[in-house]
Structure 1
Amino acid sequence: MGDRTKAYQQVAQGDLVIDNLTVEELPTILEIERGCHSNPWSAGIFEDCFKSTYRLWAARRNGELAGFAVVAYQYDEAHLLNLCVAPAARGLGVARRLLQYLIARSGHDGMQLLLLEVRHSNRPAYRLYCSEGFEQVGVRPDYYPAPNGRENARVMTRPCLL
């Protein structure tokens, strides 16, 4: 059995712990963010998210931060702003488990709808969201910075689960 197969089975069997992200983890958060995005969020943006209207969840493998999600709550809507998995933890099911957790947790917290934007070119993320019940409801033209200008975002939604 290969190392990645074994690691995926560990994640699937519960070696992944999801809990709250802390501001003290900001250096690691930024390292993961820079490894994921061509236009990463700044420390200031993350610091602004440690407020009562946001939920920040950490996915930890063997005690190490493997990924995170940032969700804003407004009225009865949860807006997934950022879901990021460390390069070394990709392909192991971390993003899926984190997404499933935030869907269920948002529903438990009284949110009715989960909304997100995803780069048009990010096919793996788009496929993940579709497989977890999200549907495309629109497009935000020129939403993301791109190497040669701007890139459209797919707007996707799904109901939250209780």
Structure 2
Amino acid sequence: MTAVARPHPHPSEADGPFEQFIYAPMVMADLDAVYAIEQVVYPHPWSRGNFVDSLAAGYSAWTLRDGAELLGYFLLMGVLDEAHLLNVSVAAPRQGQGIGRYLLGKVGACARGLGAHSVLLEVRPSNQRALAVYARHGFVEIGRRKNYYPAHDGLREEAIVMRFSL
């Protein structure tokens, strides 16, 4: 299910320094910019087809822009009373500025709107920066998935499964 909403150039006072950014549903026209970020920030990025399929499936997909510049995005799948964070990314030059934390706040709000009581995600153990951001946001490890992610030289990397209770 996708939340239907208009772009939010001024989402709320709680957005602080991010209030000038535009938070809006992801549309097909966003995919070139989304795919470009994906190629830079992940060693094993999603394919363009993954994004097309996610939008076609009706997953909640959102972007954050500063004018025309795409800062980041996320895709969230609602399943019963849980939401699964499929992908969240911040443009490489804008990392370390709090945008990831801001997007995680939006993930929680979106998940609540879907009727979820928690948000699940998988993350590579090697992605220490993301693990730190998730932990600071309140996500806790609840398990591991062996051989989940592709890695270099045909090897596989496990995933850490994390949950955030809403």
TM-score of the superposed pair, with normalisation by structure 2 = 0.85
* 2:159 counterpart residue number: 153
The CA RMSD over aligned residues, in Å, is 1.7
1:71 aligns with 2:76: yes
Among all aligned residue pairs of Structure 1 and Structure 2, give the percentage whose two residues are the same amino acid: 35
SS in 2 for 1:152: strand
1:22 aligns with 2:27: yes
1:55 aligns with 2:67: no
What is the one-letter code of the residue matched to 2:163?
Answer: T
* 2:47 counterpart residue number: 42
Partner Cα distance (2:48, 2:16) in 1: 29
Say if 1:13 and 1:69 are closer, same or farther in 2 by CA, change over 3 A: closer
Q: CA deviation at 1:18?
A: 1.7
Q: For the Cα contact (< 8 Å) 1:53–1:73, is it kept in 2?
A: no
Q: Paired residue for 1:133, among 124, 133, 138?
A: 138
1:87 aligns with 2:92: yes
Which 4+ stretches in 1 moved above 6 angstroms?
none
What is the one-letter code of the residue matched to 2:138?
Answer: G
Q: For the Cα contact (< 8 Å) 1:68–1:85, is it kept in 2?
A: yes
- Uncovered stretches (5+) of structure 2, i.e. residues with no partner: 1-14
Give the number of equivalent residue pairs. Answer: 151
Q: CA deviation at 1:95?
A: 0.9
Partner Cα distance (1:134, 1:26) in 2: 28
- Uncovered stretches (5+) of structure 1, i.e. residues with no partner: 1-9
Q: For the Cα contact (< 8 Å) 1:11–1:92, is it kept in 2?
A: no
* 1:6 counterpart residue number: none
Say if 1:150 and 1:54 are closer, same or farther in 2 by CA, change over 3 A: same
What is the one-letter code of the residue matched to 2:51?
Answer: F
